[in-house]
Structure 1
Amino acid sequence: MLKRGDKIEGKWYKNEYTILKKIGQGGVGTVYKVVDYKGYIKALKISEDIMSLTREFEILQKLPLLDNIPRVYEIDDWVYRNKRYYYFVMEYIEGNNLKEIINRGKLSIKDILGISLVLLEMMNKLYQLGYIYGDLKLENIIINRRTKKIMFVDFGGVFKKDGCIKEFTPTYDINSWGIENKNLHIERLIFSTTMLIVCLITKREYNPFRTSMKKMLYIVDSLNISEKLKVFIKDGLLNKFNDINCYIEGLKALLIESASNKTIISNDIIINLIFLVSICFLY
C-alpha cells in the first residue's frame, strides 16, 4: 500500500513518519520501517481493523517489564485516499527473523535447542502474566543484532487466558494436526515448541492440511540427530508429556548433551549456551 518516501501524519498527535520500507505483513496489518520527525528509526503497524490493532497495542502497553518484546509509543489514525487507517508506533528491532536465519544455514542442534528453550520459557512467562501467545511462527521471532536477545515482534495473536484465539498458525497448533488433547495451554505450549524444533532442524514449516502426523514422525525418524532427541520430539508431537517442567528439564538435558558432543556442534554458533541462559528473563 505504501512506498518509500510516503508520509503519515497522525490525526491526534500530529507526529509525522516517513516510510522507509515494508518489513512485515500479517493477518491484522502491515508493518513498516519508518523514521520520525526527529530522525529516530521506528516500526509502524497499520491496519483498517481498529479493534485488533487497539487490542494489540494495549497488550504491549501492559507488558513493559518484559525486555523480550518491543516497546510501544503511540496509537493514532490517518486518512489516506478517503479511507481511514489506524496505526501504532513501536520500537524497531534490527536483526533477522528465524526464517531468514535458517535459510542461511547457520543454526546447529545446540542453537536450535537453546532458542526453543528460551522461547518456551518466554511463552510460559506470558501465560503466568495472564496472556497466551497464540501465533507462533518463524517470522514473528527475531534475534536482535545488537543485543543478541530473542524477541517476539508480533502480538496480534496474543490473547487473555479466558479469551478467544484471534490468530494462530496451523503449523504450530495441536488441534490443526488432529492430536488428541484436553485443550490445556501446557499441551499447546509443548506441541508448538516441539514443532518449532522440527521446523528449525529441517529448515521448513509444514502444513497440517497437506502433511499427516504419520509423515511428520517419518521425517523425524529420518533426521540425522541422536535417538534421544528423536524420542523427545516424537513424544512432544504426540502429546505424551503431562508436565511442562518435565519437558523443560528434558530439553535442558538435551541442550547440555549437544553442547558437550562436538560431533553435532557447528562452527556457526549464533547464540552461545551460557548467553542464552543469561538473557532468559525467567533466570
Structure 2
Amino acid sequence: MMNTSKNLYSIPRGTVIRGKWHNHTYIIERELGYGATGTVYLVKGQQGSAALKVSSQLSITSEMNVLKAFDKVQGSSLGPSLLDTDDWQDRGQLFSFYVMEYIHGPTLSTFIQSRGPSWIGVLMLQLLENLQALHNEGWVFGDIKPDNLIVTGTPFSLRCIDVGGTTKQGRAIKEYTEFFDRGYWGAGSRKAEPSYDLFAAAMVAVSLVYPKRFARKERDPEQLVKMIRQSKELEPYAGVLIKAIKGKYHSALDMRKEMLTALSPVSPKRVPVRSDKEAVKGRAASKQRKRKQKHLETAVIILSVLVCYMVYVFIELL
C-alpha cells in the first residue's frame, strides 16, 4: 500500500531497550524515519551504532526474511545486514524489534545535488546490478526511491535503508510511493516482477533531474516519455529509460547492458537498438574494414621497402 502512515512507535531519546530473549541492550539516540511497517531509530549497542526498527510481529517476520534474502545475494551490497532480532517489554506492553547495520551517508538526491548529474548513470549501473542479484533470489524491491537510497564510500556504493516494500515475485506490491509506481502512471500492474523495479529505477533517474517532481496530468506513460526527452541531463541514456518506462526489459541485466552501452564513449548519445540482420551486417562491415586496413598497411610496407632499395641501388651506382 502507499506509505501514508503516522508514527505509531514513538520512543524518547535515551530509552534503553533490552532484548527479552538475547539480553542485548540498545540506547535510543534519534529517530531515523518511520513508515507503514514501523519506526527506525539510530541506537548505540555493544558493537557500536546500528539501526533498530520497532514494529508488529507480523511485519518483523516478513522483513527479517527479506534481510536474510539480502544476505544470501552474493556480491550485492544493496540492503543492510541483519544483526539481531528480539522482543522488548515496556510497561506491560510487548514490542517486537530487529537490529540492522546502520548505513551512513547522504541520500542519493543529496549526493547528486553536490556531485552533479553525471553520476546518475554510474550509480544506476550499480543499482541495476544489485537488482539483478535480488531478482535472482525471487524478490522484487518494490518501493525504490531516492529517499531509500544512500551513497556510502569511497569508493561510492549505493545502499538501501528501507526494505519494507520488498515483496516475493508474483505477489502484489505491498508498499509503494506514487511517483515511482507504474500503476499510478498507467504503465502496468502492481504485480511484483522485475519490470516493476525497472520502471521505478528509471523514475529514480527522472526524479533526480526533476527534484520538485511534476504532477500527473493523466494516467499515460507518454507524459513521462516527453519529460525524459526534454532533459539534457538524461539525453545520453534517454532510450534506456523510455524502454524501462514502457516495460520493454525482461531483466535488470538487459537494462544494465544497454545503459553501459549508452554511457560508453563510443555511443554517448543513445543506445542503438538493432535487429539481428542489422547486427550481422554490422559485423560483416567491420570485418571488411579490417581487411582493407590490413591490405593498406601491407602495401605501405612494400612501398617503403621498395623506395629504400632504390635509394640503396642509386647510392651504389654513384
TM category, shorter: 0.7 to 0.9
Question: Structure 1 residue 89: deviation in Å?
Answer: 0.8
Could you tell me which of 33, 39, 64 is aligned with 2:71? Answer: 64
Could you tell me which of 245, 255, 260 is aligned with 2:263? Answer: 255
Q: Please give the alpha-carbon distance, in whole angstroms, between the structure 2 residues aligned to 1:211 and 1:4.
A: 44
| Structure with bigger gyration radius | 2
1:11 aligns with 2:20: yes
Is the Cα–Cα contact under 8 Å of residues 53 and 156 in structure 1 kept in the other structure?
A: no
2:11 maps to 2
Could you list the per-position Cα deviations for residues 162-186 of structure 1 after superposition, in whole angstroms to 9, with x for gaps in the alignment? 4442212222222221125796824
Is the Cα–Cα contact under 8 Å of residues 181 and 187 in structure 1 kept in the other structure?
A: no
Question: Structure 1 residue 212: deviation in Å?
Answer: 5.8
Amino acid at match of 2:101: E
Question: Structure 1 residue 53: deviation in Å?
Answer: 1.5
1:55 aligns with 2:62: yes
1:173 aligns with 2:181: yes
Could you tell me which of 106, 125, 128 is aligned with 1:120? Answer: 128
1:44 aligns with 2:52: yes
Residues 147-162 of structure 1 correspond to what in structure 2 (within 5 A)?
Answer: 148-162=156-170
1:26 aligns with 2:26: no
Question: Structure 1 residue 242: deviation in Å?
Answer: 5.9
1:92 aligns with 2:102: yes
Amino acid at match of 2:158: I
Is the Cα–Cα contact under 8 Å of residues 40 and 52 in structure 2 kept in the other structure?
A: yes
TM-score by length of 2: 0.70
Amino acid at match of 2:16: K
Question: Structure 1 residue 65: deviation in Å?
Answer: 4.2
Amino acid at match of 1:95: G
1:75 aligns with 2:85: yes
Is the Cα–Cα contact under 8 Å of residues 83 and 99 in structure 2 kept in the other structure?
A: yes
Aligned length: 257
Could you list the per-position Cα deviations for residues 210-233 of structure 1 after superposition, in whole angstroms to 9, with x for gaps in the alignment? 886444333223322475533433
Deviates most, 252-261 or 66-75: 252-261
Taking structure 1 as reference, are residues 228 and 58 closer, same or farther at Cα in structure 2, changes over 3 Å only? closer
Deviates most, 76-85 or 208-217: 208-217
Could you list the per-position Cα deviations for residues 112-153 of structure 1 after superposition, in whole angstroms to 9, with x for gaps in the alignment? 011112112211211111211111111211112465321122
Is the Cα–Cα contact under 8 Å of residues 18 and 24 in structure 2 kept in the other structure?
A: yes
Q: Please give the alpha-carbon distance, in whole angstroms, between the structure 2 residues aligned to 1:153 and 1:182.
A: 22
Taking structure 1 as reference, are residues 221 and 43 closer, same or farther at Cα in structure 2, changes over 3 Å only? same
Deviates most, 74-83 or 84-93: 74-83
2:152 maps to 144
2:279 maps to none
Is the Cα–Cα contact under 8 Å of residues 77 and 84 in structure 1 kept in the other structure?
A: yes
Which structure has the highest helix share of the two?
2
Amino acid at match of 2:209: I
Is the Cα–Cα contact under 8 Å of residues 9 and 17 in structure 1 kept in the other structure?
A: yes
Question: Identity percentage over the alignment?
Answer: 26
Amino acid at match of 1:6: T
1:129 aligns with 2:106: no
Question: Structure 1 residue 27: deviation in Å?
Answer: 1.8
Q: Determine helix, strand or coil for the equivalent of 1:193.
A: helix
1:202 aligns with 2:210: yes
Is the Cα–Cα contact under 8 Å of residues 112 and 201 in structure 1 kept in the other structure?
A: no
